[in-house]
Amino acid sequence: MTVPAFGLGTFRLKGQVVIDSVSNALDLGYRAIDTAQIYENEAEVGQAIAESGVARDELFITSKIWVSNFAREQLIPSLEESLKKLRTDHLDLTLIHWPSPDNAVPVAEFMGALLEAKEKGLTRQIGVSNFTIALMKEAIAAVGAENIATNQIELHPYLQNRKVVEFAQSQGIHITSYMTLAYGEVLKDPVIMAIADRNNATAAQVTLAWAMQLGYSVIPSSTRRSNLESNLKACSLKLSDDDMARIAALDRGHRLTNPQSVAPAWD
């Protein structure tokens, strides 16, 4: 099983807003949905999925274990609670959301528990998020690279995270880009706007297509049906080598997500 190239993110969306976003996305043809325990919207995501009428085997549902549930005796019960909220008996992908603050729970402990969840059939694939090279090495030592489906990281034209990407890919670990549009910052970039004009596309479509063309998965979110529909068209957009090179040159190490309580020492 591979991680779908394109899906819907639900970060910061709650209540009826997330229900409408997921409902519209599924109606438009989205089939991969990304949520997390800390988003506090799993129940609403589950409701939207249940009411959509889309068969479970057509969907790819991802959630993430929060740091307070990393201890061996807590991880699987917390995942089972997530499954109840999402109204399913399994996830397609379960990620460790952030590294354990101050290494309070060792990587080997929570990765071991996550592998056990996979062996129990609670999740089909497991992976990590916001992991540095050093942390990926620890995770690989614990469960083997073959059991780490992806590392979901902040990655956009202004933060291309090449060291982490290169190491992950050398180990056969897929990259999922979150915040691909950099909270909308890159949509105003003159280089990206010019590429969009040349391709008769939007800046968002260009940015999402750029990431997918590099082999990454993307999970953009939106509360507007028109934007959800427009973003989906990125899947059929092909950028030229020159377009790709111009976007590659925009990298400036501009990190937007760096919560002091959980952020590691970045590469």
Q: H or E element: which one contains 162?
A: helix 162-170
- Residue 39 annotated to the active site: yes
Tokens of 61: 């549902």
Q: What is the Cα–Cα distance from 187 to 176, expressed in whole angstroms?
A: 20
Residue 117 DSSP SS3: helix
Tokens of 154: 């902040």
Catalytic residue (one of 39, 178, 183, 216):
39
Report yes or no: 211 and 247 within 8 Å, Cβ to Cβ: no
The amino acid at 99? P
Phi-psi sector, 236: left (phi>0), alpha (psi -120 to 50), beta = alpha
Q: What is the DSSP letter of 59?
A: -
Q: What angle do CA 31, 37, 42 make, to 5 degrees?
A: 50
> What residues have CB less than 8 Å from 207, skipping those under 6 apart?
156, 157, 180, 181, 186, 187, 192, 234, 247
Strand-strand pairing, 174-178 and 60-65: unpaired
User: Residue 203 CA to chain centroid, in angstroms?
Assistant: 20
Strand-strand pairing, 60-65 and 150-154: unpaired
Q: H or E element: which one contains 138?
A: helix 133-143
Residues classed as catalytic: 39
